[in-house]
């Protein structure tokens, strides 16, 4: 799965008044905040997915085997995606997580999503429509202001997909989002190409074939 972070979450840990659940609330994502990868979540990005998928699982560190709770509220307001989370007191891992939250050792949330629609504004990718899959408590946000996490299944990278990236920036984002390459490797591979790719360039086609072979070799090693 691919993880891409960009929203630091402010978490409010509530009292133990609830006999059945631990409670907390905060922002899982904020709008109009550019991350180090050049992505910005735009207002309205969660509107559709919250209608189609109102129930979202709470995970620990984006591990699908570590379900620690859920949410009573997921609301898109002017600032971002505000959530109210619950963790059952009968769950041993939830007890551990709540202790870390209350002690201030864990203070970050991040989301797992697929991109349905995005646009480019110069070098900035604006995320306009997202499929929200899960929200996780995480130890380290990648950006002290913004951390977002994308989670999606690895797919075979084809020449058609690579040729569909019309700019160096789009190619870099595509390679990074595949989670087959580290951020630095994606930047390095994209740097081989001009700012605007030329579809009739034989040299570029050979380079794309090399990137495709490297990515699919990387996928085999991850299996």
> Tens of pLDDT along 122-170?
888 899 999 999 998 887 654 344 232 333 333 456 667 777 777 777 8
Say which residue the tokens 């699982």 belong to: 57
pLDDT recorded at residue 50: 96
CA torsion angle 54 96 17 53 (round to 10)? 0
State the number of CA atoms in the 13 A half-sphere of 118 facing the CB.
Answer: 21
pLDDT recorded at residue 220: 47
> Low-confidence residues of the chain, pLDDT below 70?
1-12, 14-18, 36-37, 140-159, 177-183, 196-204, 214-223
pLDDT recorded at residue 100: 86
pLDDT recorded at residue 127: 93
CA distance 3 to 31: 19
Domain layout of the chain by residue ranges: 11-150, 159-222
pLDDT recorded at residue 216: 60
For the chain, report the end-to-end CA distance as a whole number of angstroms.
12
pLDDT recorded at residue 11: 63
pLDDT recorded at residue 181: 65
């Amino acid at each position: 799965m691919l993880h891409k972070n960009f929203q630091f979450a402010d978490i409010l840990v509530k009292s133990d008044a609830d006999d059945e659940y631990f409670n907390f609330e905060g922002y899982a994502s904020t709008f109009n905040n550019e991350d180090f990868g050049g992505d910005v979540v735009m207002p309205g990005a969660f509107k559709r997915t919250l209608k189609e998928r109102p129930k979202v699982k709470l995970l620990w560190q984006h591990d699908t085997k570590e379900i620690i709770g859920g949410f009573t509220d997921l609301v898109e307001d002017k600032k971002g995606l505000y959530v109210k989370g619950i963790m059952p007191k009968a769950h041993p891992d939830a007890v551990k997580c709540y202790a870390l939250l209350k002690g201030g050792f864990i203070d970050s949330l991040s989301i797992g999503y697929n991109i349905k629609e995005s646009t480019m504004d110069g070098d900035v990718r604006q995320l306009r429509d997202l499929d929200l899959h899960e929200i996780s408590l995480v130890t380290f946000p990648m950006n002290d202001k913004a951390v977002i996490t994308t989670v999606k299944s690895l797919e075979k990278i084809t020449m058609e997909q690579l040729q569909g990236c019309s700019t160096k920036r789009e190619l870099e984002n595509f390679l990074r989002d595949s989670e087959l390459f580290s951020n630095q490797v994606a930047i390095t591979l994209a740097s081989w190409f001009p700012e605007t790719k030329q579809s009739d360039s034989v040299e570029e086609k050979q380079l794309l074939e090399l990137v495709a072979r490297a990515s699919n070799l990387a996928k085999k090693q991850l299996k």
